[in-house]
Structure 1
Amino acid sequence: MRIDYCIRKTHKCAVPFVNEILTLRRHQQAVHRAKYLKWAEKKKFKSMLPKDTKRRREELATDNQTNIDGHLKQDKVVQYSDVLFREAALEWLIETDQPIDALEHPAFKNMIDIAARSTNGIKIPNRRQT
């Protein structure tokens, strides 16, 4: 380790120079903080003093806390309209090759009445569940 001097207009201070930049940053923080911050602000330079970098790291750590919102999926609930229901019913008749009077069957009407009371959509059982 070699001892050099940090020579400024107002003082002369002994600084141990080593092969790490952190030593210089600690010295700047301890002795020249105000001047450094003034210079950094003037030059629009982000402060690299140890306390400042630690504070930024801590802020990032708290800001980037993971949550489950991105993993949750909410099914989109489509607003009801007579036209939309009619189109869906006709599409169901055609796609499943149902007879036209299937829409008038009491069991179908009962199922639709029950589903109409739902406030958050419905879940239709799949083939295995049925």
Structure 2
Amino acid sequence: MIALAHSHQIYRKQCLLVNESTTLRRHAEANFAGKYRQWAKEHSFKSMLPGDVKAHKEKAEQAQRTINSHLTECKLSERVIPYSDKLFKQASIEWLVATDQPIQALEHPKFQEMIYVASRATNSVKIPSCKATCAEII
């Protein structure tokens, strides 16, 4: 408690000590902004004054908006992975294992015919669903 004397009257002013960083930063910005920024610059320290933090955030958000404006969403169907023998071999082996096929399935004439037909597709191959396949067989 601090007592102040003024014209024979005593005023009592209560002081509170606060250790919150935001309060200290607001105080530093209000009273010592120039000195603090100079010290921060000399010591390669990022200024944590509330106004500077807000400016950093706004600058980062503006940069993100600029980046986002240049991005376009790539649909899965638009992304075509170029053919390679290595990629086909890998896909074949994964199919054999995942579907529990015999290794000789890759040598079956009907499997090879199916691959040959699919290889002539210009854009993509539409694989029929189970229902469509069942209906076609019946």
Q: Please report the TM-score for the alignment, with normalisation by the length of structure 1.
A: 0.47
Higher relative contact order (CA 8 A, sep 6+): 1
| Structure with the higher helix share, 1 or 2 | 2
Q: Please report the TM-score for the alignment, with normalisation by the length of structure 2.
A: 0.45
